[in-house]
Amino acid sequence: MFTIDAPPEIQNTEYCNYRSPLSTRYASKEMQYNFSDQKKFSTWRKMWIYLAKAEKELGLDITDTQISELESAIHDIDFASAAEHEKLVRHDVMAHVHTLAERCPRAAPIIHLGATSCYVGDNTDLIVIRDGLDMLLPRLAAVVNQLSKFAYDNKSLPILGFTHLQPAQLTTVGKRASLWLSDLLMDERALSRARNDLRFRGVKGTTGTQASFMQLFKGDGEKVKALDKRVAELAGFDKRYIVTGQTYSRKVDLEVVAALSGLGATVHKMCSDIRILASRKELEEPFEASQIGSSAMPYKRNPMRSERCCALARHLITLYSNAANTHAVQWMERTLDDSANRRLTLAEAFLTADAILLTLLNICQGLVVYPKVIARHIAQELPFMATENIIMAMVQKGGDRQICHEKIRVLSHEAGAVVKQEGKDNDLIERVKNDTYFAPIIEELDKILDASTFIGRAPEQVTEFLEEDVVPILLKYNDSLELLEKPVSLLI
């Protein structure tokens, strides 16, 4: 039998219990509160107040005194009492009904009147999802804003492009950042769509038919419809799901988690690129003066923030399958095998996304570029890339293309052998200069090898992308961005 080997005096401390790294290390206080017991159960109490208010407005015998008593107890939750009640009844909603009834004896007869557990549970989840998205979207906009500045500042700085992780034609540092930005804009669109599509479950009863409320209102369907609409309004929703089972469809959770999971994929790709560029010493994330990169190798500057983003992003990506599988097995009007899974999946999806965006913002605020290292790497590869330009220049001077092509082919293979077999620098240009055949263009070689002539319209593409695609999105978040730094729209 396993025993706790910690001394008895510390066995009941928080350090002897499992604590999620999302709450102890990574996620913000605000997002942690959003998924806290205090937020959850105080929102349940608000839901009972909304129900009582709407029922009173529509003619049920509920007094202002009863509603005022409930309002005085929104945040005054006796968690110990609720836990004791749940041990007896094995039902969390009824445990909190009893706990609130003890605190509000005059309102006790009308608490949860006509409702089922999912009235408080599902509607609260929808409020928490809404509030979570409202926190994440400005954080995402802040990342986009910072990365946009970086892209704009470096739009014309040439850098080696890579396809198949092999050197390819040049691009620019800003153009590469614009590719990361493009994905982040898709995430903003997906999260915004999930937020805008979100509706309220409202008051639907045990199987979604509103039968209990029809009984309360003596068969008056219009009053039941008005009750559903009014409760949604009190909760801050202007739309509600017209048809539900006992729960709102878990397809809603799937759509939300899919958008969050998509963000995880974007961030993993971006931070993987940063890690590769850091290994080439071309670009670096922020590194504090006292930061330790390795316990054994003091010289190391590990990209730990990008690595953290990748680690958390992989977890976020995997949560999609949980949401998909949960929706798939909700038989008929509902089953309860969604409950335990959703407690984990929804909270972890939002907390993980929150932690990722906080870390990514820090990265984007302090990205460091090393142009001289980049230039050295370009110089090692550009001679090969410039061969076509050299051939064209020779043709313009009256040379034969086929002869020139063969000359360049032979010299390129010789230079390649020096690089690969001897570990020396690329000396193709020196070989060209030493071959009298190329004498007509020797004076033009520096111009032919100017890296800025190999980047095409990359700088213009970055500016156009920022102006046409990025700025309109950032304008949606202008108020929140102005609390941080100048929006990129003021820089372009």
Could you give the residue numbers annotated as active site? 164, 294
Which residue's structure tokens are 């990169």? 293
Between CA 163 and CA 238 the distance in angstroms is: 48
Q: What are phi and psi of 480, to 5 degrees?
A: -70, -35
Which residue's structure tokens are 């949604």? 232
What's at 329, amino acid-wise? V
What's the first-to-final CA gap in the chain, in angstroms? 67
Contact 111, 433 (CB under 8 A): no
Of 485, 449, 489, nearest to 467 by C-alpha is 489
Q: What are phi and psi of 164, to 5 degrees?
A: 60, 20
Contact 211, 205 (CB under 8 A): yes
373, burial (CB in 10 Å: exposed 0-12, middle 13-18, buried 19+): middle
- Burial letters 276-312, b for 16+ CB under 10 A, else e: ebbeeebbbbebeeeeeeeeeeeeeebbebbbbbbeb
Please give the C-alpha separations between residue 451 and each of 32, 157, 378, 431, in angstroms, as whole numbers: 49, 9, 8, 20
Residue 196 burial (CB count, 10 A): 9
Between CA 57 and CA 406 the distance in angstroms is: 90
Contact 70, 100 (CB under 8 A): yes
Residue 48 burial (CB count, 10 A): 26
Which residue's structure tokens are 């110089």? 379
Between CA 116 and CA 123 the distance in angstroms is: 11
Q: What are phi and psi of 106, to 5 degrees?
A: -70, -30
